[in-house]
Chains A and B, each alone.
Chain A
Amino acid sequence: MATMQTPPTSPQKLRLDSLIPRDSSLIRLLVITVVIFIAFSLAKPETFPSGTNLEAMARQMSEIGILAIAVALTMLSGGIDLSINATANLTAVTAATVLTAMTASPDTDPGTVGLAIVLAILAGVAVGLLCGLVNGFLVAYAKIPPILATLGTMTLFTGIGTVVTKGAAVFGQARLSELGNGEIGPVPIPLVIFLLAAVVISFILSRTKYGFDLYMMGTNPQAARFSGINNRSVLLRTYLLSGMLSAIAGIIILGRIDAARIDFGESYVLLAIMICVLGGIDPSGGFGRMAGVVLAVVALQLLSTGLNQVLFENSGANFFRQFAWGATLLLVLMLNYFSQRQRQRRASSEK
């Protein structure tokens, strides 16, 4: 059963003992992450902990990390968003189309380029919000189960993108490559955006009325409604946020690979869900924290890259990675199951 996470706005937050059980899974995840890092660093001391490798990993995990945050929000509400990747791709296609239309010739003057970049990002985010609005409407007002509504919109958004692009790639004219490949100091820009998103969402969840309402509704929608929470508006805002985060991920992807394809990264959806579950987000809603999601992203990235390096001679590294993902997910589920049962037993014996 999901226990309700006490939002910090309530005075109960100060009771320290209530914090310990819910953080035990976070601590476990942190330990797993550190163990993975140490293990691969010992196995490949020259390549794994090197600066270039850390930077490459930081870049790769940012996109999927932002998408995972989007899924996590919808999971907290008791739903799910399968359309994140479709939204990200539609956003990337939109932004790339704007860039191509305005700056296709190499000697476009800098003023136009700047304007085009701003317009492309704005158009992209607008598309993301629109996608979120459609999802939010279907879930909150038409009351369609989120998994189905977003399954439908996933197909729909991909369909729209396919119609617009005829399945071909749209190029970004290298205008956003600074965003996808640049750094601020030693830190890659995508990582900065990912961490910023995690902090902002975390702040929204713990310090705003929306965050409180989201946890309440995710725990028990009926009780939330009776205590005066407008579930519809909470749901709508959740899917809007999810759409916006997906759009940001889409723009970063466009920046990194300088091309937008409507069928890019199809495995991202299931991967993002997996990250959320690993990170301790309860798929039935109401429980979980952004810190867990960030840790899970890091853990999976370390595992993926590490396995790639260790198995470098073996052509099947990608396949083993997929196997390891599945095994890790099931393993963590089992660990959570047993620790929860133990806790329940302890609780009932104390009575």
Chain B
Amino acid sequence: MNWRALFARQEFIILLVLIALCAVIAIINPTAFLSVQNLFRILRACIVIGIFALGTLMVLISGGIDVSFPAIAITALYISTRIIVDTGIDSVPLAFLLGALIGLGLGLINGVFIGIFRLPTLIVTLGTLNLFRGALLFFVGSERIRLSEVTTNLADASRLNLITVPLARGEASLHFTFALLIALALLVWFILSRTMLGRAIYAIGGDREAAERAGFNIVRTQFFIYGFVGLLAGIGGIVFGILSREADPFSIVGTELDVIAAVVLGGALITGGRGTVIGTLLGVLLITVISSNLVLLGIPTEWQRFVIGVLIIIGVGIPALQALRKRRLRVQTA
């Protein structure tokens, strides 16, 4: 690949922006930024948004959009926690299993509306976002559950670490769910780039009509996409619960647009057909670094949203302008 082609890829540009940003923060505030603790803190903050972003990536590639995943995540977390508390089976694997199953079920409801009734994805998921969250708060409960008060294993899972590095003062550790994020990222990468299903997802997003004529089963693929996104959301919800040590039914919802922004920054096209796992992870990392480390630059926290807004506009503007230039070039040479 030559340099030109490399620069044309948004993943590469995002990587450069990320490196530049880190370099600037590291120069201005080396002691606070360049520490193992800070690195692990950033990575920890990436886990939940990263899992959500993987699902969002798949939806965007297929040409759809899903805003209901935070509602699925919090519903999965809350109901799973309630089941665990009520039955007394205090097990972390069970929590993940329940969360994944509830997420899958709710995601398939989206699949029915989108796949069978062919309704617009944004509108459907807008409806189910309200439906799921309203149902959770009204029928299931709106009381916050503190895990440490009702469970021991589940509550202790917040201290289950993948790596612990001893430092001069105290120690730094990376939570075990980071491995889960990496595993899920590999899984999504495998599905997208090594299976027929992945081809189908890209094909639907590129040109639905053409994909149908090429023999892809659109309905079945869409069922898979929205079911899988629900499953990821359910798992993400459980991780969120473990990391925050509580199941708060008012949390998570409201983060949907931030997650979509991270995925779009990572080079996925909202019109479908394009997007990579590595770009998505870089987008998540960039958003996380900005929201947790801008203050190290001496920039007050109230600038956070402003900076993210500017980044999104630049992030979506560059490919749009590139497309325009390409079209103009083609017109000139023709």
> Is A265 part of the contact surface with B, judged by Cβ < 8 Å?
no
Interface 9-mer from B77-85, B125-133, B194-202, B218-226: B125-133
Chain B residues near A277 (CB-CB < 8 A): 123
Instruction: Please state if B310 and A156 are interface contacts (CB–CB under 8 Å).
Output: yes
Complex contact A324–B134 (CB within 8 A): yes
Evaluate contact between A149 and B124: CB separation under 8 angstroms: no
Given contacts A147-B270, A151-B261, A284-B120, whether A323 and B309 have CB atoms under 8 Å apart is no
Interface residue ranges, A against B (CB under 8 Å): 80, 82, 138, 142-145, 147-149, 151-160, 162-163, 166-167, 266, 270, 273-274, 277, 283-284, 316, 318-327, 329-330, 333-334, 337
| Contact, CB under 8 Å: B119 / A337 | yes
Q: Is the CB of A145 within 8 A of B138?
A: no
Contact with A along B304-329 (1 / 0, CB 8 A): 11111110110111001101100000
Which residues of B (36-85) have their CB < 8 Å from a CB of A? 65, 67
Interchain CB contact under 8 A, B309 and A320: no
Q: Would you give the shortest CB distance from B47 to chain A, in whole angstroms?
A: 22
What's the nearest-Cβ distance from chain B to residue A276, in Å? 9
Q: Assess whether B120 is in contact with A283, with CB atoms less than 8 Å apart.
A: yes
Q: Is B171 positioned at the interface, with any CB of A under 8 Å from its CB?
A: no
Task: Indicate if the CB atoms of B317 and A330 lie closer than 8 Å.
Answer: no
Complex Cα distance, B39 from A205, in Å, reads 55
Which B280-334 residues have a C-beta within 8 angstroms of A? Answer: 300, 302-310, 312-313, 315-317, 320-321, 323-324
A334 and B117 within 8 A (CB): yes
Q: Interface of chain A, helix or strand or loop or mixed?
A: helix
Is there contact, CB below 8 Å, between B134 and A319?
yes
Q: Does B260 contact A (CB under 8 A)?
A: yes
- Cross-chain contact B254 with A266 (CB below 8 angstroms): yes
Give chain B nearest CB distance to A89 CB in angstroms: 12
Does B186 touch A at the CB level, under 8 Å?
no
Q: List 25 A-B contacts (CB under 8 A).
A: A142-B320, A144-B320, A145-B271, A148-B264, A149-B313, A152-B312, A154-B309, A157-B309, A158-B305, A159-B309, A162-B304, A163-B302, A273-B126, A274-B126, A319-B136, A319-B137, A322-B130, A322-B133, A323-B130, A323-B134, A325-B134, A326-B132, A326-B134, A330-B128, A333-B119
> With an 8 A cutoff between CB atoms, is B24 at the interface?
no
Q: Which one of A159, A266, A274, A330 contacts B307 once the chains associate, using CB atoms below 8 Å?
A: A159
Task: Note all chain A residues with C-beta closer than 8 A to B304.
Answer: 159, 162
Q: Which residues of A contact B67 (CB under 8 A)?
A: 270
Size category of the B interface is 35 or more
B245-270 interface mask toward A, CB cutoff 8 Å, 1 = contact, 0 = none? 00000000010010011001000001
User: Is the CB of B34 closer than 8 A to any CB of chain A?
Assistant: no
Nearest 10 A/B pairs, CB to CB: A323-B134, A159-B306, A156-B309, A326-B131, A326-B130, A322-B134, A319-B137, A155-B309, A159-B305, A152-B312
Known: A142-B321, A152-B313, A274-B126. 10 other contacts (CB 8 A): A80-B122, A144-B320, A148-B316, A151-B312, A153-B309, A156-B312, A320-B138, A322-B130, A323-B137, A330-B131
Does B113 reach chain A (CB closer than 8 Å)?
yes
Report whether A155 and B261 are in contact in the complex, using a CB–CB cutoff of 8 Å: yes
In the bound complex, residues from chain A placing their C-beta under 8 Å from that of B317 are 138, 142, 144
Instruction: State which of A157, A166, A333 has its C-beta within 8 Å of the C-beta of B124.
Output: A333
- Would A337 and B117 be within 8 Å (CB), given that A155-B305, A270-B126, A326-B131 are in contact? yes
B324 contacts which chain A residues (CB < 8 A)? 142-143
B129 touches which one: A149, A266, A283, A326 (CB < 8 A)?
A: A326
- CA–CA, A136 and B256, complex, Å: 24
Q: Is B142 an interface residue (CB 8 A)?
A: yes
Measured in the bound complex, the distance between the Cα atoms of B134 and A321 in whole Å is 7
A154 CB contacts on chain B under 8 angstroms: 257, 309
Asked if B27 is an interface residue, CB under 8 A from chain A, the answer is: no
Complex: A145 Cα to B130 Cα, angstroms = 25
Contact status A326-B305, CB under 8 Å: no
Query: Does residue B187 face the partner (Cβ distance < 8 Å to A)?
Result: no
Q: How far is the CB of B259 from chain A (nearest CB, A)?
A: 11
CB-defined contacts of A316 to chain B, threshold 8 Å? 137-138, 142
Residues of B within 8 A of A334 (CB): 117
The answer to whether B113 touches A330 (Cβ under 8 A) is yes
B135 beta carbon closer than 8 Å to chain A: yes
**Given A147-B122, A321-B134, A329-B123, do A270 and B129 touch, yes or no (CB 8 Å)?**
yes
Closest to A145 in B: B270
A263 CB → nearest B CB, Å: 10
Chain A hits for B257, CB < 8 A: 82, 151, 154-155
- Knowing A159-B306, A319-B138, the reply to whether A283 touches B123 (Cβ < 8 A) is yes
When distances are taken between beta carbons in the complex, the residues of chain B under 8 Å from A327 are: 127, 131
Q: B309, A326: Cβ atoms under 8 Å?
A: no
Taking a contact as CB atoms under 8 Å apart, the answer to whether A333 and B134 are in contact is no
Chain B, residue nearest A270 (CB): B126
CB-CB < 8 A to B310: which residues of A?
156, 159
Residues of B within 8 A of A157 (CB): 309
Report the bound CA distance from A148 to B315 in whole Å. Answer: 10
Chain B residues within an 8 Å CB radius of A149:
313, 316
- Could you tell me if B65 and A147 are in contact, using CB atoms closer than 8 angstroms? yes
Residue with the greatest number of chain B CB neighbours at <10 A, chosen from A80, A148, A160, A166: A148
Query: How distant is the Cα of A323 from the Cα of B127 in the complex, in angstroms?
Result: 9
Contact of B138 among A158, A162, A323, A330 (CB under 8 A): A323
